[in-house]
Structure 1
């Protein structure tokens, strides 16, 4: 459980965690209490991945955020800690002159597909999904049908967060 402080400025919005006051651009303060559980992660591939095989999980090994500790950077799997509505994001950048066919997979069922590839360049693809997940669901990003030779490190990311618990 977490309480947020949201401060609003005319030119941007910033969020500061754990304080229950919001200040509007007019200077007026209002209370904003949020007491829903927090689940969020963001991870990226730290170095280029090569020789990936069909159905192999792409491991996003460098954690940026892991609120709730539900993403395992050693396996590449997000284990849903509680039922709810989640937003998931995956971005894959292929190596130069390569293609990567991948997908977001929940409990061995493909729910989104990404195609990253280009001739004489890097290719990028992003998938964004809003899904109802149950506690214990396993979510990952996998190579789909054919071997791939190169997932570019640093630019390839996987993220999710809980929008609303059930």
Structure 2
């Protein structure tokens, strides 16, 4: 797919996400202090060793808890947080992702081990304290 077409698709998706978030956040209690969504714009990102995934597209970062330079989410207030991640890889390009809370693995997903496109997802609810950090780490191929 041409670069211009990908940019158009990305812009369209960003607008769609922003519209959904506006709909979702209308009427939410004012105590919600952070809300973010992020993803990778490239289909295949090689990670020869386990590394923090730094998402290059961050259409929403309410509260600025996600640092787009380091790939780290730092908890702004004590509370219960919901984190979700998805990986989708083609046959022959297996990869894994895992959520790390304070540098300890708490969830993982993998994809690319079957025929065609393979997807893995994980959603987790976590009790977090101010200053706790959450990251997604990837290994091999991450899409």
TM bracket (short chain) = 0.7 to 0.9
| Regions of 4+ moved over 6 Å | none
Rounded Cα–Cα distance in structure 2 between residues aligned with 1:41 and 1:135: 17
Which residue of 33, 38, 46 corresponds with 1:43?
38
User: What does the per-residue CA deviation read over 1:91-149, in whole Å, with 9 as the maximum and x for residues that have no partner?
Assistant: 11124421112210011100001111234422211100000011111111112xxx51x
Q: Deviations over 1:49-103 (max 9, x none)?
A: 4330333011111012111011112221111111110000011112442111221
The TM-score, its normalising length taken from structure 2, stands at: 0.74
Q: Which runs of 5+ in 1 are unaligned?
A: 1-13, 18-31, 153-166
TM-score (norm 1): 0.65
The aligned counterpart of 1:94 is 89
Unaligned runs of 5+ in 2: 1-22
The count of residues paired between Structure 1 and Structure 2 equals 121
Q: Which has the higher helix share?
A: 2
Query: CA RMSD of the aligned region, Å?
Result: 2.1
- Does 2:54 align with 1:55? no
Listed as ranges, the matches of 1:7-156 within 5 Å are: 14-15=23-24, 17=26, 34-143=29-138, 147-148=139-140, 150-152=141-143
For residues 107 and 124 of structure 2, what CA distance do their matches in structure 1 show? Answer: 7
Larger radius of gyration: 1
